[in-house]
Amino acid sequence: MNFIQKSLASGQLSGLLADTGFGLRAALAQPHSGAILRALAVLGCGIIGIYLLLPRGVEGGGTKLSRYLGGALATLSLVFLVTFPIPAGESSLVGHSSAILSPLSDQPAVTGWTFYILALISLASAVMMITARNPVYSALWFALVLLGNSGLLMIQKADFLSAATIIVYAGAIVVTFLFVIMLSQPNGAAAYDRRTREPLLSSITGLILAAVLVGTLHYSATHEGWGKMTVGAQRPSAESIAAVAEKSNQFGKISGPHYVAELGKTLFVDHVVSVEIVGLLLLAAVVGAVLIAGHQVERNARQ
Amino acid sequence: MPGSEPVLNNYLIVGALLFTLGTIGFLTRRNLIVMFLCAELMLQGVSLTLVAFGSFHGTWNGQVFSIFSLSLAAAEAGIALALFVVLFKRNHSLDVSIWQDLREPDQPAILDEPVAETPDEQHWPHLTPAGLLPGEPHAPQGHASHHGHARPTLAQAPVATAGGSHGN
């Protein structure tokens, strides 16, 4: 019963859309409306910035101005993610307002600042990547996203994975992208790079998706017992975490001196069938790529 | 372990935002290559989420799944980029709306408003010519008497500069 009431309280946006006059007053009277409106303000600021940054093919004097405005709004939204306080209700665990990216008070200061810097690098580069007018710049911004992401992985003690991200993604995939861009765009920026398809509708879709994801994550992290399947509902106790770790990983703790050796043992003992299947898939991909790209050459040579 | 709760939530939110940005890019962009890059961005967000859950629960499974998604992305990139090369050879364009012939037979075609061609938007890098011209090999002083007269190498510089700027 409590769950139904709370989900009704948080699902007030549909009421707001259905009956504006009464719905707005009712929505503002709800306990979480301030938090929802503030989170929507943070995310909507970024979405409006992305909409202004997206190439829309509108030529004229306002293009450069709207680009600058969009960049400023997106930057502001990224800053708000860290600094803008979202008020928490009485039922929350934290008890005080915290930003969407909550402060890492239990962490050493170096880790916290490193996390914020890397996350902001990652997100800002992602914004620049999806709004760049030149696909070469898109690929390079994606390489910067990968750098930030591999730093985030390294904070989480996933050293091998962060190195593999740099080597495989930034070293192989992005370079292959650059090769294909140079093969297929010999005349520089094309007309279809300067305009997008339905930027307004896509931005609204992105706002809805981001609001649902971030709202659910933020709410479930600050409230106890909201729903059964959320992150914050069933916090595993330290004993259960240790038990799961003991059961699923009999080769040692996750952070040890022989980190890569332990990961390799897990990969090639517990998941050996998956490794074989992935190897087969890579072989099939190589054969398929040779077949697809080589077919044209062979036919041209025969003519 | 309530102390690591905000940490996990931060990583999940960053992963979710990366996924959202990839979705927006995939929905709006027209270039096939940029669309595929946005799909890779979504994979990155999911990978970050998996690793965060894995390190939260103290198991290897999140990292193992991320390694699998990494190799899947590599296979995907190989196939997709080969396809893009073939598609570009066929139509000389990477615009995704060219390929809407592949839609369902009873679907109406999406007609775009005509593209305003603005050739002024293309900015090529401008290089100032310096040094000797490439077509004029620098003859050593000992062989200068072989040609009978010393060639003025700088006199032909404006011609080559004009030819270079007509390249675009």
Is the pLDDT reported for residue A93 higher than 80?
no
CB A253 within 8 A of CB B58: yes
Is the pLDDT reported for residue B164 higher than 70?
no
- Whether residue B17 lies within 8 A of chain A, CB to CB, comes out as yes
Mean pLDDT of A276-289: 94
In this complex, do A289 and B1 lie within 8 Å of one another by their Cβ atoms? no
Confidence at A239, pLDDT banded by 50, 70, 90: low
Q: What is the mean pLDDT of chain A?
A: 77
Name which residue leads in pLDDT, B79 or A261.
B79
- Whether residue A283 lies within 8 A of chain B, CB to CB, comes out as no
Binding-face residues of A in 215-244 toward B, CB within 8 A? 217-218, 221, 231-232, 235-238, 241-242, 244
- Whether residue A286 lies within 8 A of chain B, CB to CB, comes out as yes
CB A87 within 8 A of CB A42: no
**Cβ atoms within 10 Å of A133's Cβ, excluding its own:** 16
Q: Shortest CB distance from B84 goes to which of A168, A184, A288?
A: A184
- The conformation of residue B94, written as its DSSP 8-state character, comes to -
Is the pLDDT reported for residue B104 higher than 50?
yes
In this complex, do A195 and B72 lie within 8 Å of one another by their Cβ atoms? no
Q: How far apart are CA A241 and CA A224, in angstroms?
A: 18
Confidence at B66, pLDDT banded by 50, 70, 90: very high
Confidence at A266, pLDDT banded by 50, 70, 90: confident
Q: Which pTM was predicted?
A: 0.77
Binding-face residues of A in 2-21 toward B, CB within 8 A? none
Please give the pLDDT value at position A248. Answer: 54
Task: Note the ipTM here.
Answer: 0.80
In this complex, do A180 and B67 lie within 8 Å of one another by their Cβ atoms? no
In this complex, do A194 and B118 lie within 8 Å of one another by their Cβ atoms? yes
Question: Coil, strand, or helix at residue B31?
Answer: strand
Confidence at A109, pLDDT banded by 50, 70, 90: low
* Range with the poorest average pLDDT among A2-11, A166-175, A183-192: A2-11
Q: Scanning every residue of chain B, which has its alpha carbon at the shortest distance from the alpha carbon of A216?
A: B13
Residue B19 to residues A27, A66, A268, B48, B154: CA-CA distances in angstroms? 29, 25, 30, 10, 56
CA–centroid distance for B163 within its chain = 29
Q: What is the sign, positive or negative, of the torsion defined by CA atoms of A224, A226, A228, A231?
A: negative
Please give the pLDDT value at position B3. Answer: 40
- Whether residue B85 lies within 8 A of chain A, CB to CB, comes out as yes
> Residue A56 pairs with which residues in a beta bridge?
A195
Residue B135 to residues A74, A138, B149, B156, B160: CA-CA distances in angstroms? 50, 36, 18, 10, 10
